[in-house]
Amino acid sequence: MFRSVSYRSGGYCSIVPPYLLRRLAAQQEPGFSGAAEAAQKALLHVKSFQAARAELTVLAVPAARGLKPGAPERTIYDARSLEQLPGSLVRNEGKPPSGDPAADEAYDGLGHTHRLYADAFGRDSIDGKGLPLEATVHYGKRYDNAFWDGRQMVFGDGDGVVFERFTKSLSVIGHELAHGVTQFSGGLNYRNQAGALNESLSDVFGALVEQYAKQQSTAEASWLIGEGLFTDQVQGAALRSMKAPGTAYDDDVLGKDPQPDSMDSYVRTSADNGGVHINSGIPNRAFCLVATALGGNAWDAPAQIWYDTLTGGTLAPNATFGAFAKATAASAKELFGADSKEHDAVRSAWETVKVKL
């Protein structure tokens, strides 16, 4: 049974920023017509559903504590280039690989994400209550995006000129599913600084999913979001760099990565719901600075602080960077002590990116 694509009110979150899609949609260079058309279509989705999402007010719900995480329950569907969800069943929990790279990458990515939350935080799936994880691959024709629609993951195949298939990047899968975590327990609106925090938290946990799956230390990690999505025609490594915001790409077609790395270059704009994908670079860098200062594995103390802040029920829906910074400092103090290196690292990181606690 198919259903027409529908988005739970306020649930739609996509990985490719609107400003990047706009650049690509406006291209008239030979060889980019197909990519421009694909970007135009993806941009229509983003515009339609982010507008509805921005008006949603959500309430923070503290995460359930002390529950024993269960095993993942994954189901992968194939849309077969249609825009109907969920599509045809191609693989479910415990079954062998399907032979379709996109389906099997999605299956593995859902598993890696479930494992991080279970092992690092004792969380039972995305909602904390064992939510089955579903994903649809091969959505639309040359669809230039991946998104969380409020209940499942959806992946396009990319246009083949600028973007590869969106299941190729584990950080993308982790990023989008983290929007589900925020949806179920974080309570952050999707506009202005609260929206940028929403996006940043997805980048943080997307990076952590990849690092945990590869068992990479903080020093070994790339801190790139969407690495592997660009074809070799693009001068760029990824959609975003958490370690060095503003350096992920610099391309004749896509332009230069516009993310700021501190409040000194904060972007004031009404586009993209107040710059949620642009200004997320500031809290992204703050997390990376904490992880670098502490060393070891980022899914340990740094992630515990950020996760406790997200799920603790103290964040207002319209939280600012300053409010979030104070909340992370409070979490670090509660978890590790006022005189701890963790507390010092958090305070120093926010000071470096010019966010006042």
CA distance linking residue 128 with residue 203, whole number of Å: 19
DSSP letters along 130-150, please? Answer: -PPEEEEES-SSS---EEE-S
CA distances to 187, 293, 295, 342, 345 from 337, rounded to whole Å, are: 26, 17, 18, 8, 12
The maximal CA–CA distance of the chain, rounded, in angstroms, is: 60
Counts of helices then strands in the chain (DSSP H, E):
10, 12
CA distance 289 to 243: 8
Pairing between strand 88-92 and 240-241? unpaired
User: Are 85 and 136 a contacting pair, CB within 8 Å?
Assistant: yes
Active-site choice (105, 134, 176, 199): 176
Catalytic-residue membership of 134: no
In 3D, which of 162, 157, 152 has the Cα closest to residue 137?
157
CB atoms within 10 A of CB 339: 8
Residue 61 DSSP label: -
Write down the catalytic residue from 114, 138, 179, 277.
277
> Which pairing describes strands 224-225 and 240-241: parallel, antiparallel, or unpaired?
antiparallel
Region for residue 323 given its phi and psi (left: phi exceeds 0; alpha: psi -120 to 50; beta: otherwise): alpha
Determine the Cα–Cα distance for residues 176 and 186; give it in Å rounded to an integer: 14
Distance between CA atoms of residues 34 and 162, nearest Å: 10
The dihedrals phi and psi of 97, each to the nearest 5 degrees, come to: -55, 145
Query: Could you list the active site residues?
Result: 176, 277
